[in-house]
Amino acid sequence: MRFDNKVAIITGGGSGIGRETCLKFAQEGAKVVVADYNEATGQETVDMIKAFGGEASFKRADVGDFEQVESLVNFASATYGRLDVMFNNAGIGATAPLLQHSPEMYHKVTRINQDGVYYGILAAGRKMQELGHGGTIINTASVMGFLASSNIFGYNVAKAAVVMMSQVAALELAPYHIRVVGVAPGFVHTNIVKGLKDRGMEDPIAQKHMHGEFLNSEQIADTVLFLASDAASGINGSTIKVDDGYASFK
Ligand code: NAD
């Protein structure tokens, strides 16, 4: 039970990578705050945790709104008395060629995938400093934070920003014993990539992974738990690729 008596917030906890991470943290003893802007799916994750005797609460939050992220963090510390892990994971996709990538589309994706991570770092960093017990902040980037890809301009930009945010925040928060790290998945079977199959893109993309298939949420969640654990105390500011080699070959 690596996370007995620890408190973890997971944004985007109602689906995919976020849900799997919530379940694993709870299985390892953490008190989990499941955050999502979708109340029904977020509450479903809480019910799944309670069904095996774990401890969890749901808090609705749109990560693109700083006040909501601040009240999420306040809710976690008021409910459970501490905050050890903040997993800034919520995200959306946005696909269009650059010349059709409207300002609205750009701002929609960067508001959630980029500003949302900044708000999570800021709110959790302040709370962890105030509580004085240190902690770990983990941010979901993507292999698309390292590689340019057609048709996802805003997503590419936001994920690259997340890689740098983890580095800078790690530097500035180290004096408070707060580690900041990133996780950069390859393609993972979740709702966000469902449309690829209809467009005949799933197989060619799968082939870009060394085993020729998409990853699963469990593989990402396992890495997040490792990064949040004391065994990863030497990892700070890095973004770890969990991509089955996607970014390593062409
Ligand atoms: P998903 O769609 O299954 O889950 C995303 C969750 O985020 C959903 O529950 C959704 O309701 C929530 N969400 C979206 N906008 C929100 C907001 N403004 N506030 C709060 N919650 C919000 O997708 P996923 O694949 O699990 O995505 C999780 C993260 O992983 C995202 O940041 C995504 O960019 C990243 N990622 C995914 C893949 C992949 O192939 N699936 C690859 C690399 C990175």
pLDDT in tens, 130-174: 999 999 999 999 999 999 999 999 999 999 999 999 999 999 999
- Residue among 82, 205, 88, 181 at smallest CA distance from 133: 82
Residue 1 resides in a domain: no
pLDDT-derived band of residue 250, with 50, 70 and 90 as boundaries?
A: confident
The predicted model scores a pTM of 0.98
Q: How many domains does the chain have?
A: 1
Q: What is the mean pLDDT of residues 36-50?
A: 98
| Confidence (pLDDT) at 195 | 86
- Quick one: average pLDDT of 94-104? 96
Q: Best mutation site among 9, 10, 11, 17 for ligand 1, i.e. most ligand atoms within 8 A of its Cβ?
A: 17
Q: Does some domain include residue 62?
A: yes
- Atom 23 of ligand 1, residue of closest alpha carbon: 192
Q: Examine residue 2 and state whether it is found in any structural domain, yes or no.
A: no
**Ligand 1 proximal residues by C-beta, below 6 Å:** 11-12, 14-18, 36-38, 41, 61-64, 89-92, 112-113, 140, 142, 185, 187-188, 190-193
In a domain, 246, yes or no: no
Q: Is residue 142 part of a domain?
A: yes
Whether 155 is catalytic: yes
Catalytic residue among 37, 155, 176, 246: 155
Q: Which domain holds residue 98?
A: 7-241
pLDDT band at 209 (very low <50, low <70, confident <90, very high): very high
In a domain, 250, yes or no: no
Which pLDDT band holds residue 197 (cuts at 50, 70, 90)?
confident
- Ligand 1 mutation pick, 69, 192, 209, max ligand atoms within 8 A of CB: 192
CATH of the domain at 37: 3.40.50.720
Q: Which of 67, 190, 220 to mutate to test the pocket of ligand 1 (most atoms within 8 A of CB)?
A: 190
Beta carbons within 8 Å of 9's beta carbon, 6+ residues apart: 32, 33, 35, 72, 73, 76, 83, 85, 86, 87, 124
Quick one: which H or E segment has residue 9? strand 7-11
pLDDT band at 5, cuts 50/70/90?
very high
Mean pLDDT of 218-223: 98
What are the φ and ψ backbone dihedral angles of 90, each rounded to 5 degrees?
-55, 140
Q: What is the mean pLDDT of residues 185-202?
A: 92
Question: When comparing pLDDT for 84 and 250, which is higher?
Answer: 84
- Sign, CA dihedral 99-96-221-52, equals positive
Packing angle between helix 217-228 and helix 16-27, nearest 10 degrees? 50
Residue 177 lies in a domain: yes
Q: Whose CA is nearest to atom 7 of ligand 1?
A: 12
The pLDDT mean for the chain works out to: 97
The CA distance from 226 to 219, in Å, is 11
Is residue 248, in this structure, part of any structural domain at all? no
Average pLDDT for residues 2-13, to the nearest whole number?
Answer: 98
